[in-house]
Amino acid sequence: MDEKLISILEGAIKLFKQYGLRSISMDEIARSLSMSKKTLYQYVDNKDDLIIKALDYIIAKTKVEEIEKDENLNAIDVLLEISRIVRTEVVEMNPVVKFDLFKFYPSIYHKAVMKKKEMIFNDIIINFNRGIEQGLYRKDVDIELTAKLYIQNLLEIHDPEFMNAPLSKVFVVMFDTLIRSIVNEEGLKYYEQKIKPQAI
């Protein structure tokens, strides 16, 4: 991806996280990036296109192939590393951004959610199969159903019903519940050793 476009996307994402999508105009985005709107439009067609590219950029950055390929990590290690990445993303997500996407850009929101779900689903399936092969996860786990349930919970984590607890705590409990439901005795022993000295 073009370095200038990356700079634009990162600047726009910072503004979106701070103020939401609806309240920021293309003029304000261009001004914050110290460029003319004409220059901005050389990289994006309009605000919708900017939002789509920004979401694609965010999703691409959260890919975890390098973690999965690390032969020094077992399936539980990988899941712990991925959980830290996703938790940071969830906690830093401004609920206003999700609200604006859902209300004012429903088509863009739906496509982004589907893309994100597919990516997370594929990553979890790879991890579950790896854990079973390594003798850390139960062989009788319904892999696809468990993955889908986890993803659905992840997508609903900003629901107002969760607001009585910090998002970081909600995520930790959700992840802990997931991993305890899939590990066997050996996997549980390893997992508890890993989380004993520090939080998930």
pLDDT above 60 for 188:
yes
Place of tokens 């909600």: 170
Q: What is the pTM of this model?
A: 0.80
Question: pLDDT value at position 52?
Answer: 97
pLDDT above 60 for 173:
yes
d(CA 39, CA 31): 11
Q: What is the pLDDT of residues 132-141, one digit of tens each?
A: 999 999 999 9
Q: What is the pLDDT of residues 82-104, one digit of tens each?
A: 888 877 877 777 888 988 999 99
Question: pLDDT value at position 98?
Answer: 84
pLDDT above 60 for 198:
no
Judged on CB neighbours under 10 Å (0-12, 13-18, 19+), 139 is exposed
